[in-house]
Structures are given as C-alpha cells and as structure tokens.
Amino acid sequence: MTLDRRAFLMAGSAVGLATQVGTPAARAEAFSEIVAEDFQKTDLPTPALLVDLDLFEANVTTMAAQCRAAGCGFRPHAKTHKCPEVAKRQVAAGASGACVATVAEAEAMVAAGISGVLLTSPIVERRKIGRMIELIRTGGHVMLAVGHARQVELLAEAADAARVTVELLVDVDVGDRRTGVLPGQPAVELARLIASHRSLRLRGVQAYAGLASHVAGFEAREKTSREVMAKAVETRELLAQAGFDANILSGGSTGTYNIDSTIRGVTELQVGSYVFMDVDYRRIGGRTNAQVYSDFHASLTVLTTVVSATHADRVSVDAGTKALDTTVPRNPEAKNWPGITYNRGGDEFGILTIEPGAKLPRIGDRIEFIVPHCDPTVNLYDRIYAVRGERVEVIWPIAARRESAGKRTTRET
C-alpha cells in the first residue's frame, strides 16, 4: 500500500491494528510493509529507528553465501528484529525458516507466512503452550526446544488433547548454564521421554553457546566455540546411535558464524544480529580485522535531533534510554560525525560532548547513532523506517514487539 504525508507520519496506526484484528489473514496484513513515496529522512519525527537497505541487503547476502559455501543451513533468529518483513527477506535468501524467542514472535512469523519457525526458549505456562498448539493445529509449521522433563509432559498433555503432533529439539546446555538439559546421557534420557509420547516427535538438538559469541579475538572465540559445540555434536551422535531422529543440530551465532558453519555435525545456524549489527559486536574483532568486527555492516541506526544547545561544551539530543538501549557497557556511536561522545542524559535525552578540534552540533542538526545492542533497541520501537540513501522506501512494522502480536485475551501475560 502507498502512503500520503498525513498517513505516513501516523504510520504507527498500522501496528496498532495488530492488537485488534483476530484472523491470520488480517494479522498478516497489519504486519506487512507500508510503501512510502517521495519521503526523505528529513520528514521523519525523531527519535526514529532506521535501517539502511543497501547495507542490510549486503548483510543478508553475505550470510547466505557463507552458509551456502560451507554446506550449512541457517534459521536466523527473529528476536533481533521481531519483524516479518526482515524474516521474509532472509527466507528468500535461503534461510530454512526463523528462530523465535517468544510465543508472540512465533505467532507473528506464522501469521506472515513464515514456515519452519523454531521456538528456542522454554515455555511452561499452559496458555503459552496452548497458543503454540493452536499454531500447529491451524497449519503452522513450528518446532519447540525442550530441556526438562516437565516441559515434555506439559507439551504431550496439550498435544494429546488437541490431537496434533509437536516436533521438538532437545535443548542442550553446552555451558551457558541458562536453559537446557546437560549434554550426553541426560539428553539421551530426555529423548527417551519424548519418544514415549505418541504426540511428540524428536527432530534433533539445539545448542546455543552465548558464552562464545562475544569472545574478543577470533582465535580465542574459535577455540571457545569449538570446545562447547563439541559437546553438542557428541550428544547428537549419541542420540543417533540410540536410534533417535537427530537430523538437526541448530546453534551458532553472528559472532561464530564462520566457525560453527564449518563444524561437522552442525546443520544450521541461529544467527540474528548480522542483519543489523551494533557497537557491542563491532568490538570483538574478526578473522581479518583484529580491532573491528567488520564482516557485516552496521545497517541499523537511531536518527536523533539536537534539541538543546545552551552550553558551550555540550548539546542534547532527543534520544535517551527510551530510544537507545544502554544496558551494555558500550555507548552509541555517531555515524558520519567524528569526535562526538554520547553520554546518558536520562529517559528522553542524550548528552553529546566532543573531542578537542571536533565540531559541536547545532540545535536542529540531525545525527544518526549506531546502537549499542540491536535486539533490545529494536524492542523499544513499533516500526523500522527502511531507507535507501536519504529516501524512505518502506516502513516495516515490528509486529512481534513484546506481547503485541497474536490472538489472546487481555488477561494473558
């Protein structure tokens, strides 16, 4: 659909519809992109979340090419973008589907026509389990990861009642100590429990190693990732030896994509941040650049406006902690404006100071910032303005932001 100027600046209403419409077709329409004609960045109200389409498309192509060359599949993680339009482009590039971290994300991806959705986080709440069962009952192709016997029993109970078959991966804790069953025999025992239920079908193993993804220095990162993923590979082999379906070993990350894709036994990568990138990832260094992780471009930025210039040594922009996630130690980095340091100024504001010899922005100037951490920053917005140069090409609703998607009652959490 196209947008006139008034509708363009009120584009958030399209996302608002997502909480009001109930049918899959209506939700999919509410989540679809909005085409903007003859609009520039200067038309945007700030703070605004932007994606540079040229850089974004290059990132999508680079990851797809690496996986193709390595003979490894990829199922990118939608927790990074929560946006069906991004997932569609990843699938078009060769992805086998999308990983999701929440039930709302799963609902949004299925509503948008994404097949091969894997819920990587454990769920034990009966209503959330019911929502996933409903996706399966109505034709959605989804899998779930389980790492505890209680999860298995709850899913089997719900699947039996709905007369559906639920596909599962055994979630293996390879060192994060966060979710999942221990590798080796404990994982095999969990597989046996899954196999005892006719309504459940085992498909393989999930093993995410967050402890490896941000290790600084390529050699150290490779050593860490190979050590922890060896536990997952061994577990997959034990499952196969015991006669279980272990066709899938899903894991990996943006930081280890060119490591894990070469490990024999890893069948798909759960890469996420590569489409956008952030300051936190840029610091880890790459195979060819020890200082900056430059394998992928920083396509995601937050556009801000200088709204106060009272003092000679600083100015204020209209983007504070409500617009830029600052939970990681790194600060936002100004794009194309050297010598600026962003300092936290509260909920609504950021304070900009400059290095000696740098130019201090003036009131009304617009500055884009590369975000410290892309996933939680995206979660602060309801739309992404996709730009090519200075032109706004489309608007992508962030359809799975928190619990803003899917069919549910207002009492659910």
Give the model confidence (pLDDT) of 99-147 as tens digits. 999 999 999 999 999 999 999 999 999 999 999 999 999 999 999 999 9
Burial class (CB in 10 A: 0-12, 13-18, 19+), 346: exposed
Strands 333-335 and 315-317: unpaired
Please state, as a whole number, how many other Cβ atoms lie within 10 Å of the Cβ of residue 186: 16
Q: In what order do the strands lie in the sheet with 142-146?
A: 73-74, 268-269, 248-251, 200-207, 166-171, 142-146, 117-119, 98-100
Q: How confident is the model at residue 405 (pLDDT cuts 50, 70, 90)?
A: very low
Give the model confidence (pLDDT) of 263-295 as tens digits. 999 999 999 999 999 999 999 999 999 999 999
Q: Which residue has the tokens 């994606």?
A: 51
Reduced to 3 states (helix: H, G, I; strand: E, B; else coil), residue 106 is helix
- Report CA 100 to chain centroid distance, whole Å: 7
DSSP 13: H
Residues 107/133, Cβ–Cβ less than 8 Å? no
Share of the chain above pLDDT 90, in %: 86
Residues 190/166, Cβ–Cβ less than 8 Å? no
Residue 405 or 73, more confident: 73
Q: How confident is the model at residue 402 (pLDDT cuts 50, 70, 90)?
A: low
Domains of the chain in start order, with CATH, are 2-52+294-397 (2.40.37.20), 55-282 (3.20.20.10)
CA atoms within 13 A on the CB side of 323: 26
Q: How confident is the model at residue 6 (pLDDT cuts 50, 70, 90)?
A: very low
Reduced to 3 states (helix: H, G, I; strand: E, B; else coil), residue 127 is helix
Task: Label residues 42-60 b or e (16+ Cβ within 10 Å = b).
Answer: eebebbbbbbbbebbbebb
Is 0.95 surpassed by the pTM of this model? no
Task: Kindly report the average pLDDT of the chain as a whole number.
Answer: 92
Stretch (H or E) spanning 368: strand 366-370
Q: How confident is the model at residue 3 (pLDDT cuts 50, 70, 90)?
A: low
Report the pLDDT value the prediction gives residue 10, as an integer from 0 to 100.
45
Q: How confident is the model at residue 30 (pLDDT cuts 50, 70, 90)?
A: low
Helices (H) and strands (E) in the chain, counts: 14, 19
Stretch (H or E) spanning 73: strand 73-74
Q: Which amino acid belongs to residue 309?
A: A
Average pLDDT over residues 371-397: 97
Query: Which residues on adjacent β-strands are paired with residue 392?
Result: 39, 387
